[in-house]
Amino acid sequence: MTTPLLRVEDLVVEFGPKSAPIRVLEKVNFEMMSGSSIGIVGESGSGKSMTSLAIMRLIPEPAGRVSGRIEFDGRNLLDLPKKEMPRIRGRDIAMIFQEPMSSLNPVMSIGDQIAEGIMLHESMPREKRREKAAELLRLVGMPDPMGRLDSFPHQFSGGMRQRVMIAMAIACNPRLLIADEPTTALDVTIQAQVLQLMKQVRKRLNSSILIISHDLGVIADIAEHVIVMYAGRVIETGDSRSIFRNPTHPYTRGLLDSVPRLKDDRKRLHQIPGSVPLAGMIRQGCPFYARCGLRMDKCQQQMPPMQSVNSTHNAACWVTAPPLDTPRLVVAGEMR
């Protein structure tokens, strides 16, 4: 088996005093093969963004403490001296952020901002960098790219700014592109365009993509593999198709049931009662216990380990385990 491009192992992020730490990520594990696309889904506060920031080592230190392993291309990023990280950021791993409004520097022209990434990682004369920036803008569908190089972020609409962000992120052909809620701040029509663009870009550059969203539609559109997070933990992971056809964890089911459908005869959309527990207030046992419709006493005592649903699909829930087979939940055909 080839080594994965990214391997996250027992990733733990803590904030607050060492004597009483608040854990925002609790042993997150996943792997990503080169060229694949993974979506992380979950409600706000489930630890999605924290995971991506931890991979980039952008969690402010010493306030936040990161432990575990983040292997990128066989190297543990957490072992690297801090000074080494800028060489990886932007070149090997690039990131697209949620808010295109505030994530661009307001006093720097977009041409300079795109060219900056190139300047930081490649030696290229100034004029060449400008040309490349224009080329990138053209690639992300910016009309009149050469003429817009000297424009400033406030002169663009939200969708165009997100295109600029994408151009910036792909400037150095990163092997891994992390997109943290790339479409959340955009209008629905623009969302579709930006998603389309991201798929094109990915195909063209052949980079892997880690997309983070609370929007299952976005995830279904781009990701081949899905990770469902809840309260800082991975609670279900699997092939995208399997997850959407056969959601196993009650939380994933709840999420999917909450999605409005075109042919909906429901009077009210489904909702999961309650809300995500705050970091530091997570109970022992299964963190979803309080909101779960299928809870049992056992869930209160012990966090269920990952159980296999099928060869690519795992869920951290007792009810998926064969001995507790509840016909209401488990689709027998998938159990093998």
Partner 1 sequence: MVRYIAQRLLDAIPTIFLILTLVFVAMRILPGDPAIAALGDNALPEQIAEFRERMGLNVPLWQQYFNFLWGIFSLDLGRSLLSNTPVTQLIATYLPYTLELTLFAMILGVAGGIPLGVFAAVNRNKWPDNAIRGYNLIGYAIPDFYLGALLLIFFALNLGWFPIGGVGSGDIWSRIHAVFLPALTLAFVKTAFLGRLTRTSLLEVFGKDYIRTARAKGARENRVVYRHGLRNALLPISTGFGLSLLSTLSGSVAIELVFNRPGIGRMLISAIAERDYAVVQGGIIVFALFVVLINLLMDLVYVIIDPRIRVTK
Contact present, 285 and 300 (Cβ < 8 Å) = yes
Contact present, 211 and 222 (Cβ < 8 Å) = yes
Amino acid present at 261: R
Q: Which of residues 159-178 bind partner 1 (CB under 8 A)?
A: 165, 168
> Cβ closer to partner 1: 58 or 296?
58
Q: How far is the CB of 264 from partner 1 (least distance, A)?
A: 36
Q: How far is the CB of 62 from partner 1 (least distance, A)?
A: 11
Q: How far is the CB of 44 from partner 1 (least distance, A)?
A: 17
Identify the helix (H) or strand (E) that includes residue 66: strand 65-72
Tokens linked to 283? 């109970």
Residue 152 binds partner 1 (CB under 8 A): yes
Q: How far is the CB of 229 from partner 1 (least distance, A)?
A: 21
- Of residues 6, 11, 40, 95, which one binds partner 1 by CB under 8 A? 95
- Of residues 90, 182, 287, 304, which one binds partner 1 by CB under 8 A? 90
Contact present, 15 and 21 (Cβ < 8 Å) = yes
Residue 154 binds partner 1 (CB under 8 A): yes
Residue 104 binds partner 1 (CB under 8 A): yes
Contact present, 40 and 210 (Cβ < 8 Å) = yes
Contact present, 178 and 96 (Cβ < 8 Å) = yes
Helix (H, G, I), strand (E, B) or coil at 290: helix
Q: How far is the CB of 86 from partner 1 (least distance, A)?
A: 4
SS3 of 293-315: the string is: CCCCHHHHHCCCCCEEEECCEEE
Amino acid present at 94: A
Residue 97 binds partner 1 (CB under 8 A): yes
Question: Which region, judged by CB under 8 A, interacts with partner 1, from 13-21, 26-34, 90-98, 271-279?
Answer: 90-98
Residue 99 binds partner 1 (CB under 8 A): yes
- Give the torsion sign (CA, 225, 211, 43, 233): positive
Residue 89 binds partner 1 (CB under 8 A): yes
Q: How far apart are CA 301 and CA 283, in angstroms?
A: 10
Question: Which region, judged by CB under 8 A, interacts with partner 1, from 25-33, 130-138, 147-155, 189-197?
Answer: 147-155
Binding mask 53-72 for partner 1 (x = CB under 8 A): ---x-x--------------
Residue 155 binds partner 1 (CB under 8 A): yes
- Reference 99, options 171, 40, 174, 153; nearest CA is 153
Q: How far is the CB of 219 from partner 1 (least distance, A)?
A: 22
DSSP string, 7-23: EEEEEEEEES-SSS-EE
**Alpha helices of 107-231 — where are they, by DSSP H?**
110-121, 126-139, 145-148, 158-169, 188-205, 216-222
Q: Which residues touch 144 (CB under 8 Å, ≥6 apart)?
A: none
Binding mask 8-47 for partner 1 (x = CB under 8 A): ----------------------------------------
Binding mask 116-145 for partner 1 (x = CB under 8 A): xx--xx------------------------
Which residues lie near partner 1 (CB under 8 A)? 56, 58, 83, 86-91, 94-95, 97, 99, 102-109, 116-117, 120-121, 152, 154-155, 165, 168
